[in-house]
Structure formats: C-alpha cells, structure tokens
C-alpha cells in the first residue's frame, strides 16, 4: 500500500515538473513583447520602428499602472527621439517624469530622466540650461547611484565647454579608468580627458587618450564618436608637426563622416 502511494506521488510530481509554466495575463505579455520588439529594433538601427514600438510600450505599461515600466519606456522613447533629431519631443517625454508632482515615478527614474535631459541640452549647445538639470540628477544621486560616473563625465563635458580644462580633466579621469563605467562611458571620459589635455598643450598625452577612445568607439560601432576621435587626433598631430599622419587621419575622418551621413535616418519633425 505504501509502495503504491509513493509510486502515485512520484508520478504526480513528475507530471507537475514537466508541465509548462503558467502563461502571463495577455496584457502583461503584450507589454513585454512590445519592450523586446522595441529594443530589438533599436539594436538593429531601425529607429523609426523602435520609436513606434516604445510608444506602444509606454501606453501598455501605463494601462497596467506600471510606473517602473512606464518610466523605462518613456526614457527609451526619449532617447530614440533624440537620435532621430526630434529633441523637442524627447524633452517633453522626459518632462513627464521630471514634472510629475504625485511621486508616481521611482527616484532612480527621475535621476535618469534628469541626466538624459541634460545630455540632450548639452548636445543642443544649451549648456546653461543643462547645468541646473544635471545638478538635479547629481543631488538626487549623491554619488551613490548607477549613473554617478556618467553624471561626472557630463559635468566634465560641461566644464570643458565653459573653458575649464583643469576641472574637466579632474572630473573625467576617474571614469576613464573605471571598468564599471562601461565601454561607452569610458570612451566619453577618455575623449574629454584628451580634449582637456589638448587645451592644456599636453599633446602627447592627448594623442594617447584620443587613440584609446577611438578603439573603444570602433568596438561600439559609433560613427559620430569615431569621427570626433579622428578629428581630435588630426588637431594634435598637426600641433606636433606630424603633418603626414594628420592628413591620413583627416582622410579617415572624412570617409567616416560621408558614409555616416548617407546612412543617417532623416530628421523627423515634432508633432504639433
């Protein structure tokens, strides 16, 4: 009798282990699918489709009262809009998080939104507006959030834009040597270090750091950054009197620029 009971229980347990996991509710499945499809489109460079899919993701997460998922999708949608040169729409999307007074969105997403908005403003040449927005992210981060190195790198970039090469160098150097910063942020930091050293007439050191940034940017496939690195090397090589090398790098930068321009997505006008 005992043997029969054990056998029956074993069969039941095996059947339970072999059964498929329960399916998510349809709305959750749709939200997760939209997220995955949007990120896949972003990875393949299909920015227009990524924008459509992230917008769908925002709506689906909001319909489920998922503040974390909504914030993630809003930031991603803003990032894609920025890459499509629709900066007004990107800032408006980030402001949905930043201007919310109800406390719906988690603090980490408010930090991320402020950081991303500061990046966009800096890219637009609106440094004076970027500074207080970045200060908001920095204050909430308190040097102890996932973006603390990225915030320091952007602070360094803004310092360099104001002509303070020494401050830029001091802020960017830690991130340039920190593996936890990630390849893209390390490359950004190295480029700022190189530019600061260039301003301080430390040309040999600047050349080494531009080369290091170039290697990382090539591994990431970032054409606009590759062009920046090459042009930085052109300037430094010229100052070092190495004109033949400078001409060679200028030619490489021109080829990268022309090829990237032909492959760039067309700007999309903002919705009225």
For 63-74, how does the pLDDT look when each residue is reduced to its tens digit (9 = 90+)? Answer: 999 999 999 999
* Residues with Cβ within 8 Å of residue 197, at least 6 apart in sequence: 165, 169, 203, 205, 206, 209
- Report percent pLDDT > 90 for the chain: 74
Which tens digit of pLDDT belongs to each residue from 228-242? 999 999 999 999 999
> To the nearest whole number, what is the mean pLDDT of the chain?
88
CA-to-CA distance for 93 and 117, rounded, in angstroms? 10
What is the distance between the alpha carbons of residues 176 and 251, in angstroms, rounded to a whole number?
27
Q: Determine which of 31-40, 152-161, 217-226 has the lowest per-residue pLDDT on average.
A: 31-40
Report the greatest alpha carbon distance in the chain: 95
Q: Read off the pLDDT band of 268 (50, 70, 90).
A: low
The total of other beta-carbon atoms located within 10 Å of residue 213's CB is 27
């Amino acid at each position: 009798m005992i043997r029969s009971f054990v056998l029956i229980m074993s069969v039941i347990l095996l059947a339970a282990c072999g059964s498929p996991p329960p399916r998510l509710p349809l709305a959750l499945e749709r939200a997760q699918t939209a997220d995955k499809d949007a990120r896949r489109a972003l990875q393949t460079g299909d920015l227009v489709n990524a924008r459509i899919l992230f917008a769908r993701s925002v709506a689906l997460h909001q319909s489920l009262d998922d503040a974390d998922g909504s914030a993630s999708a809003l930031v991603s949608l803003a990032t894609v809009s920025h890459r499509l040169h629709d900066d007004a729409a990107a800032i408006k999307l980030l402001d949905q998080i930043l201007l919310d007074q109800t406390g719906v969105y988690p603090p980490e997403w408010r930090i991320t939104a402020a950081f991303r908005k500061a990046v966009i403003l800096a890219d637009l040449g609106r440094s004076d507006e970027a500074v207080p927005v970045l200060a908001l992210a920095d204050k909430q981060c308190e040097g102890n959030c996932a973006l603390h190195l990225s915030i320091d790198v952007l602070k360094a970039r803004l310092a360099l834009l104001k002509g303070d090469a020494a401050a830029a160098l001091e802020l960017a150097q830690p991130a340039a040597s920190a593996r936890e910063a990630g390849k893209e942020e390390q490359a950004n930091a190295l480029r700022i270090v190189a530019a600061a050293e260039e301003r301080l007439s430390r040309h040999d050191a600047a050349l080494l750091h531009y080369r290091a940034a170039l290697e990382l940017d090539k591994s990431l496939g970032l054409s606009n950054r590759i062009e920046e690195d090459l042009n930085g090397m052109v300037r430094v090589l010229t100052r070092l009197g190495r004109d033949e090398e400078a001409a060679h790098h200028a030619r490489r930068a021109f080829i990268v620029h022309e090829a990237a321009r032909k492959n760039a997505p067309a700007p999309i006008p903002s919705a009225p």
